[in-house]
Amino acid sequence: MLASNWVNQALVKRIRENIIKTPRFWKRVLLIAFDFIALMFALWASYAIRLADWTPAISIERLTLATFAPLVAIPIFIRLGLYRSVIRYLPDAAIWTIIRAMLIATMSWVIIIFLMEMAGQGIVPRSVPFLYFILGTLLVGSMRFAAKWILMSGTGLRRNEQPIFIYGAGPTAAQLARALRGHGNRYVMGLIDDDPTNHGRDIAGYRVYPARDLPSLIDRYGIKEIVLSMSSIPMDKRQAVLGRVTGLGVKVLSLPDISDLVDGRYIVSQIREIEIDELLGRSFVPADPELLDQALAGKIVMVTGAGGSIGSELCRLIIRRKPEKLILFEASEFALYRIEQEILATGDFPIIPLLGSVTDARTVERAIRAHEVQVVYHAAAHKHVPLVEANALEGIRNNVFGTLTVATIAARQNVESFVLISSDKAVRPTNVMGATKRWAELVVRQIAIEVRERPEKHSFCAVRFGNVIGSNGSVVPLFKEQIAKGGPVTITDPDMTRYFMAIPEAAELIVQAGALSTGGDVFLLDMGEPVRIGDLAENMIRLAGFNIRDERNPERGIAIEVIGKRPGEKLFEELFYDRKNAQSTRHPKIMRADSSAIVNYDISAWLQKLEHAIAAEDEAEARTLLFALISEDEVLDRNLGPG
């Protein structure tokens, strides 16, 4: 018995392997031949059933009509794509295509019968076409699904392979299609392209289809993924393509620029998920290496908050520009360990990990003095709006007085460059976090004024920008996590808008802005257009291959749930007090606030009052002082310019 089973399995395996190895052209020829024979048999069986005679008489008229049946059906099958499908990836929904093809073929045959009957060429019983349709559908469909079962059963074939389309028909797409052949768990069903001259052609052995046919192609072939191979096309065209493929119920992946790769097999590992910044359509401006080297090369650099989202990306960037030494200053032991290990894993770099809080003056001074720090990037801050709102005293202590501590010591130790990482929430703030960031800008501006009189060159500046994608507390990783769990995706208000920027781009612009500083500047990074949070959530759901569950689609997909604004949140954020007064710099993505706003505006008295309120743990008084200074400062800025 066991021997018999083994022989059967070996036979099935051999048949399967022979079928798979057969060239696709001959597979189609065999399939057409089978359909021709099957339809002839279906017609013979229809007559036999109708006449209750298994050997019906075959006249010239009947033979002519019988020959017309498959001759009409085969072109229809070709037109509806029955011979383009790969049998082992045939979706269950293909039965409807088969039924439709047989129905059209039967009706076309009936028209021919009618014309021949009018010409006196014989009569066909009315039930024969109906029986022919039923039997033809059963034979054509059962053969395909039986072949699929043989090809997908047993060992020797990866069961987890899934059919995909590649969007693009250029050399990279062809290279990717060849690389995927026999590698990974994806099977390329064809290529999608917008160029009409490519439609219907075969490139690298794969048929090229127009993008307008994607919805029907996805249903026909059971497509689960579309890989975009369009790294070299302009951003506006890329956005148009993304708009077409999102919302089709398939996962959208991307292939980055691989022009530097020589061997095609490496392409397989380059397929990745679409990054949300690609969806936002931000134009990319390459970093100016001269500015980066001017700020970092050969310098002793310290980053506070080195384990945070921005701080860690700054560390990665700094270490690539070959500084003399990099000091990682971080209050979280785990975050410090993680960034230290990440950097050390890429090479033997001169890094010094230091545990400490920016509010601890002795620790900060020891770090700067002992290592003779030349450049400081102050990224340490509490940034999560609702948490800072609920812990206002700690937020003020860390964000305002932490900045005061680091900036004061940096000035005292003759640090050459000090860059504060600020936020768009500092503009007309309605929450504690934004207000503390505005105070931090004012603190740095005040110290910049004080060091101007020194003979040495010192630059103290702030860089203001919006949300960075993927940062701790950002909505993007939260949405991803909620989508992975099946939803719902929670948003505070669908009409809320935010500025977004990729973390690496933000880090590059921060460093370049610091290199452009003349002292006391507030730099404003070009964040592009604000993004509606409701649109962001919808696009992320569609990119993940899901539909949006709403009133029109209540049964399937991922729902979006509106939970209302949290304490301190604004409906929209701003980067400017007055955009008209912003000045351009040599970098198109970096603007400078009007320097006329830098006046001798001493906030020492305000800081003393605020420090007393913190020491007394008087949160109400601390909040009052926090926003009172900002109100005065906004009046001043409206008269003198932004900043």
What's residue 358's pLDDT? 94
Percent of the chain with pLDDT over 90: 19
Is 485 part of any domain? Answer: no
Please state whether the peptide bond connecting residue 488 to the residue before it is cis, i.e. omega within 30 degrees of 0: yes
Look at the chain and report how many structural domains it folds into.
3
The answer to whether residue 456 sits within a structural domain is yes
DSSP codes of every residue in 144-165: HHHHHHHHHSSSSS-TT-EEEE
SS3 79: helix
Asked if the model's pLDDT at residue 155 lies above 60, the reply is no
Tell me which of 239, 274, 309 is where a domain ends: 274
Residue 609: domain span: 289-467+502-527+574-640
Largest CA distance in the chain: 115
pTM beyond 0.85: the answer is no
418 confidence band (pLDDT: 50, 70, 90): very high
The mean per-residue pLDDT over the stretch 547-561 comes to 76
The reported pLDDT for the residue numbered 228 is 80
Other Cβ atoms within 10 Å of 233 Cβ, number: 15
- Amino acid 335: pLDDT: 93
Q: Contact, 543 vs 279, CB < 8 A?
A: yes
Say yes or no: 456 and 518 in one domain. yes
Report the half-sphere exposure of 452 (CA within 13 A, side-chain side). 16
Q: Is the pLDDT of residue 621 over 80?
A: yes
Confidence of residue 409 (pLDDT cuts 50, 70, 90): very high
Q: How far is CA 41 from CA 21, 132, 143, 252, in A?
A: 29, 9, 14, 44
pLDDT of residue 301: 94
Between 12 and 141, whose confidence is greater?
141
Last residue of a domain, one of 126, 152, 178: 152
pLDDT at residue 285, rounded to an integer: 67
Q: Report residue 86's pLDDT band, with 50, 70 and 90 as the boundaries.
A: low
CATH number, position 261 = 3.40.50.720
CA dist 627 and 432 (Å) reads 9
Q: How far apart are CA 51 and CA 12, in angstroms?
A: 39
Burial (CB count <10 Å: 0-12, 13-18, 19+), residue 285:
middle
- pLDDT of res. 575: 59
Domain co-membership, 297 together with 398: yes
46 pLDDT band, cuts 50/70/90, is confident
Q: Which of 200-204, 407-411, 614-618, 619-623 shows the lowest mean pLDDT across its residues?
A: 200-204
What integer is the mean pLDDT of 240-256? 72
Give the pLDDT score at 314: 92
283 part of a folded domain: no
Q: Judge if 249 and 316 occupy the same domain.
A: no
Quick one: average pLDDT of 9-37?
68
Q: Which residue has the higher pLDDT, 7 or 187?
A: 187
Tell me if 490 is assigned to some domain. Answer: no
Q: Is the pLDDT of residue 562 over 80?
A: yes
Check whether residue 217 and residue 351 sit in a common domain.
no
- Average pLDDT taken over every residue of the chain: 77
Check residue 576 and give its pLDDT. 58
Whether 580 is in a domain gets the answer yes
CB 231 within 8 A of CB 198: no
pLDDT (tens digit, 9 = 90+) per residue, 349-374? Answer: 889 999 999 999 999 999 999 999 99
Written as six digits, the tokens of 587 are 């970098």
Q: What is the DSSP letter of 88?
A: G
Q: 549 pairs with which residues across the strands?
A: 559
Residues with Cβ within 8 Å of 507's Cβ and at least 6 positions away in sequence, in order, are 310, 313, 314, 316, 317
Which of 70-74, 87-91, 433-437 is the most confident on average? 433-437
Helices 94-118, 127-152: inter-axial angle, 10-degree rounding: 150
* β partners of residue 187: 163
- pLDDT of 635 strictly over 70: no
Percent of the chain whose predicted confidence (pLDDT) is above 70: 73
Question: Rounded CA gap, 59 and 47, in Å?
Answer: 12
Q: Which two tokens stand for residue 454?
A: 């020194």
**Measuring CA to CA, how many Å separate 265 from each of 179, 182, 186, 271, 418?**
5, 10, 14, 12, 46
Mean pLDDT to the nearest integer, 430-450 = 89
Do 123 and 78 have their domain in common?
yes
Total residues belonging to the chain: 643
> Does 266 score more than 60 pLDDT?
no
Question: What would the pLDDT profile of 281-312 be if each residue is shown by its tens digit?
Answer: 555 667 788 888 888 888 999 999 999 888 99
Pairwise CA distance, residues 40 & 622, whole Å: 90
Domain boundary among 132, 152, 172: 152
Judge whether 104 lies within some domain.
yes
Read off the pLDDT of residues 491-533 as tens digits, 9 standing for 90 and up: 877 777 776 777 888 888 888 988 888 878 888 887 767 777 7
More confident residue, 612 or 135: 612
The reported pLDDT for the residue numbered 2 is 42
